[in-house]
């Protein structure tokens, strides 16, 4: 691989939106990383532009107030000199200092009021964090090979850097083009920006949902702090932190409320392992030693058996890992061996393996571990493109 050849391949990929077929595996991996970085930079640039546009009216108003404050004051003419009052004599020569002190006191009081106010509502709920592994749903509003924008019922606009993502149909087979505007999709990936109104995800996969996903009712999210009267609901979003120790979910409760729930990451991983794509799964919330709630998949849940609420888009396979490498592994399944490909920035969840995320990142051997893998099949190569792997018990 020479710099000139890589530059030529990158230029052609930018012009056509497709990596040239003559690129070898090493060149393809390099191009995917470059295209993913380009999509992320574009998303950041647009977020900065939106922030500047939004701040312009306030900046203009401050400037106008500044000009007004420095205009010459009219000269006051008095015909009778009145005797200064006691207060005036007390603060004589200190009026500006007194006014400034009063303004400072009012500012401190205002900040204290904000700090003690019990905020509620969707804007004050933090559902995602940077570097979270996330699965969420939404409707495509903009579509390009390197960038897709969706509208999420709970998060609003979400920008997905898609140049390194797999595009899947409703059965989990890869597509050559991203989902079109108007398509209901499931997005899996890593969160790169979690600020309100600027959520960006480095997409691993964008899968078309088989049926419409639960829509939002535009009511504020509630942070669930105690078990509700009916501790059951449907998963609408799941997120697992970078270190694998904390999990969050948005659960649609029986009364229609959409609640943000701090959940035990281990129990959330088991729901992911059992379903591949847990969105739409019906779960029960349970206390967990005073800590985050545990999730228990309800017996008879039909969300992944083709019944009401079913919305396949990610395929799921299970087996035993063999010949693991940084790029993938062979999975021994009940029907034969499957080559599994891992994309850059991929996330492996420890599940019941007994390993920590740090040990997995450090290169711990995974050969012999059972695993559940979610993703999609690429019919051109016969490989399975993984979006998440949940490890099972050690061999």
The pLDDT assigned to 35 comes to: 73
Instruction: Among 83-87, 109-113, 211-215, name the most confident range.
Output: 211-215
Give pLDDT tens digits for 239-264: 999 888 889 999 999 888 889 999 99
The percent of residues above 70 in pLDDT, for the chain, comes to: 70
Angstrom distance (rounded) from CA 207 to CA 375? 9
pLDDT of 216 higher than 60? yes
Contact 293, 332 (CB under 8 A): no
Which candidate, 219, 217, 168, 166, places its Cα nearest to that of 189? 166
Q: Which is more confidently placed, 368 or 215?
A: 368
Angstrom distance (rounded) from CA 147 to CA 199? 13
Contact 158, 152 (CB under 8 A): yes
Q: What is the DSSP letter of 346?
A: -
Residues 6+ apart with CB under 8 A from 160: 147, 148, 149, 150, 187, 189, 200, 201, 203, 206
The SS3 assignment for 165 reads coil
User: Distances in Å between the alpha carbon of 185 and those of 80, 91, 138, 275, 313?
Assistant: 79, 67, 6, 17, 8
Q: Which is more confidently placed, 324 or 46?
A: 324
Give pLDDT tens digits for 37-50: 776 666 656 666 66
The pLDDT assigned to 54 comes to: 64
Q: Is the dihedral of CA 31, 32, 35, 41 positive or negative?
A: negative
Angstrom distance (rounded) from CA 230 to CA 285? 9
The percent of residues above 90 in pLDDT, for the chain, comes to: 36
Q: How many Å separate Cα 362 from the centre of its chain?
A: 25
Angstrom distance (rounded) from CA 8 to CA 56? 41
The pLDDT assigned to 263 comes to: 92
Q: What is the dihedral of CA 97, 99, 101, 103, to 10 degrees?
A: -150
Q: What is the DSSP letter of 348?
A: E
pLDDT of 56 higher than 80? no
For the segment 280-286, the average pLDDT, to the nearest whole number, is 91
- Average per-residue pLDDT for the chain: 78
Phi, psi of 187 (to 5 degrees): -110, 130
Contact 24, 32 (CB under 8 A): no
The pLDDT assigned to 3 comes to: 65
Q: What is the dihedral of CA 209, 211, 214, 217, to 10 degrees?
A: 110
Instruction: Estimate the crossing angle of helix 25-69 against helix 3-16, to 10 degrees.
Output: 70
Contact 276, 210 (CB under 8 A): no
Give pLDDT tens digits for 326-340: 889 999 999 999 999
pLDDT of 146 higher than 50? yes
Angstrom distance (rounded) from CA 66 to CA 24? 61
Confidence bin at 58 (pLDDT 50/70/90)? low
The pLDDT assigned to 87 comes to: 42
The pLDDT assigned to 47 comes to: 63
The pLDDT assigned to 124 comes to: 37
């Amino acid at each position: 691989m020479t710099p000139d050849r890589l530059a030529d391949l990158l230029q052609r990929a930018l012009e056509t939106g497709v990596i040239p077929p003559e690129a070898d595996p090493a060149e393809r991996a390099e191009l995917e990383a470059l295209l993913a970085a380009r999509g992320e930079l574009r998303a950041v640039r647009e977020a900065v532009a939106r922030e500047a546009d939004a701040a312009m009216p306030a900046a203009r108003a401050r400037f106008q107030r500044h000009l007004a404050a420095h205009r010459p004051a009219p000269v006051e003419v008095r015909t009778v000199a009145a005797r200064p009052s006691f207060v005036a004599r007390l603060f004589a020569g200190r009026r500006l200092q007194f006014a400034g002190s009063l303004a400072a006191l009012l500012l401190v009081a205002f900040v204290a009021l904000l700090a003690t106010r019990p905020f509620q509502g969707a804007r004050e709920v933090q559902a995602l964090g940077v570097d979270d592994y996330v699965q969420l749903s939404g409707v495509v509003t903009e579509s390009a090979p390197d960038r897709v924008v969706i509208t999420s019922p709970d998060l609003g606009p979400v920008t997905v850097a898609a140049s390194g993502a797999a595009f899947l149909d409703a059965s989990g087979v890869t597509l050559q083009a991203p989902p079109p505007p108007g398509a209901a999709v499931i997005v899996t990936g890593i969160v790169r920006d979690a600020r309100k109104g600027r959520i960006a995800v480095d997409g691993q996969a964008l899968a078309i949902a088989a049926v419409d996903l639960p829509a939002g009712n535009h009511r504020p999210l509630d942070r669930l702090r105690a078990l509700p009267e009916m501790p059951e609901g449907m998963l609408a979003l799941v997120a697992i932190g970078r270190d694998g120790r904390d999990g969050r979910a948005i659960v649609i409760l029986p009364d229609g409320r959409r609640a943000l729930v701090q959940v035990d990451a281990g129990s959330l991983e088991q729901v992911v392992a059992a379903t591949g794509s847990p969105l739409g799964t019906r779960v029960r919330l349970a206390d967990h030693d005073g800590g985050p709630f545990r999730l228990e998949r309800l017996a008879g849940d039909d969300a992944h058996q083709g019944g009401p609420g079913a919305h396949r888009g990610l395929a799921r396979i299970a087996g035993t890992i063999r010949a693991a490498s940084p790029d993938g592994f062979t999975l021994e399944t009940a029907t034969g061996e499957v080559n599994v490909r891992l994309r850059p920035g991929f996330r492996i969840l420890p599940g019941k393996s007994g390993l920590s995320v740090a040990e997995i990142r450090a290169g711990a051997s995974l050969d012999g571990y059972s695993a559940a893998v979610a993703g999609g099949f690429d019919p051109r190569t016969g490989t399975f493109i993984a979006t998440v792997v949940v490890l099972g018990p050690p061999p």
